[in-house]
Amino acid sequence: MPHQTECKVGFIGLGRMGAAMARNILKAGFPLTVYNRSAAKTQPFLDAGAAGAATPAAAAVGADVVVTSLMDDQSVLAAVEGGEGILEQLRPGAVHVGTTTISPRCAATLAALHRTHGSDYVAAPVVGRPDLAEAGRLTSFVAGDAGAIARAHPVCSAYSQAVIPVGSTPAVANSLKLAVNYIIYAVVDLMGQVYAFGEKSGIDPQHLGMVMQTMFGHPGLQEYAARIRDRRFDDVGFDLLGELKDVQLILDASTEVRAPVPFAGVVRDKLLTAVAQGLGAKDCSAVYEITRMNAGLK
């Protein structure tokens, strides 16, 4: 593994999550080349000492590690394949660190592409909202070749408080990430159901809040409980349309492996209603507004 300042990093995708992660990589002292579809977002990075690239491929030239932080299966595949994709420029032994929440099936496809090319794919989906990304305190589940994971580790550590290896099959990290998201979305919906039931039953929200705090002590779940209690959905950590995409991914993955996840169907239908009612750009916890509507609460 090269000394930190010698490990050259390419970074593809400077959205809210990606930009925060890339800033931490830069802060940690890695030589960094960034690419973003709309070039405007690269300027602050150039100002801070990073190099810019006109294509994903250009960001991969000479890189030891290339990190992608994109939208979905399609956008990741588009950044890898074809004349402008990173694969063409990736040297043998270079590592592609995929942080996007994509389907396990797509992760398997990416792993096969890299294997053929002689580079390595490390699935490294992250858990945490943008504020945690900014603080360098995400959790990364990493899966792939052990040597590749070791080479990617310092880079992932730049934006993660924990880098947890979960096996040698990349897709498994994505399955685990989907499981985590499924738990979050199901519990967030459940919290909303309980708050609406409580309000209509005359339960003091303070008492319900206390119960929730005891039962769902994890800070991430607590933050959602607070947003729901206060109906505070404009401070968008992760938007509702993003959740809908993720819920589709878990449903598709459950179809792949033939393992029903019945709460997901219920949540999906409520998300559709939320989007149909114009809440798509609100924080994902805003699904509670549909739960309220369903209970006849104003």
The DSSP output letter for 239 is B
- Contact status, residue 295 vs residue 197, Cβ threshold 8 Å: yes
- In whole angstroms, give the CA distance from residue 106 to residue 256: 12
Closest separation in Å from C-beta 69 to its own copies: 22
- Contact segment (CB under 8 A) with its own copies among 5-13, 84-92, 147-155, 195-203 equals 195-203
CA distances from 164 to 142, 144, 157, 181, 225 (A): 6, 12, 10, 16, 26
Q: What radius of gyration, in Å, describes the C-alpha atoms of the chain? A: 20
Output 20 or 221, the one with its CB closest to its own copies.
Answer: 221
Q: How many CB atoms lie within 10 A of CB 215?
A: 12
Lay out the site mask for its own copies across 210-249 (x = CB under 8 A, - = otherwise).
xx--xxxxx-xx----------------------x---x-
Q: Binding to its own copies by residue 198, rule CB under 8 A?
A: yes
Output 41 or 245, the one with its CB closest to its own copies.
Answer: 245
- Contact segment (CB under 8 A) with its own copies among 68-76, 89-97, 112-120, 194-202 equals 194-202
Q: Binding to its own copies by residue 171, rule CB under 8 A?
A: yes
- In whole angstroms, give the CA distance from residue 78 to residue 56: 9
Q: Is 177 a catalytic residue?
A: yes
- Contact segment (CB under 8 A) with its own copies among 4-12, 67-75, 227-235, 251-259 equals 251-259
Count of residues touching its own copies (by CB under 8 A): 71
Helices marked H in the chain:
16-27, 43-47, 56-60, 73-80, 104-117, 130-134, 146-159, 170-201, 205-215, 219-230, 240-257, 262-276, 287-294
Query: In degrees rounded to 5, what are phi and psi of residue 122?
Result: -115, 115
In the set 203, 226, 236, 281, which binds its own copies (CB under 8 A)?
203
Q: Which amino acid is at 298?
A: K
Q: Which residue has the tokens 């979305």?
A: 185
Lay out the site mask for its own copies across 43-72 (x = CB under 8 A, - = otherwise).
------------------------------
Q: Binding to its own copies by residue 187, rule CB under 8 A?
A: yes
Catalytic position from the list 8, 177, 270, 282 = 177
Tokens of 160: 């993660």
Closest separation in Å from C-beta 140 to its own copies: 13
- Contact segment (CB under 8 A) with its own copies among 58-66, 79-87, 94-102, 206-214 equals 206-214
Q: Which residues are catalytic?
A: 177
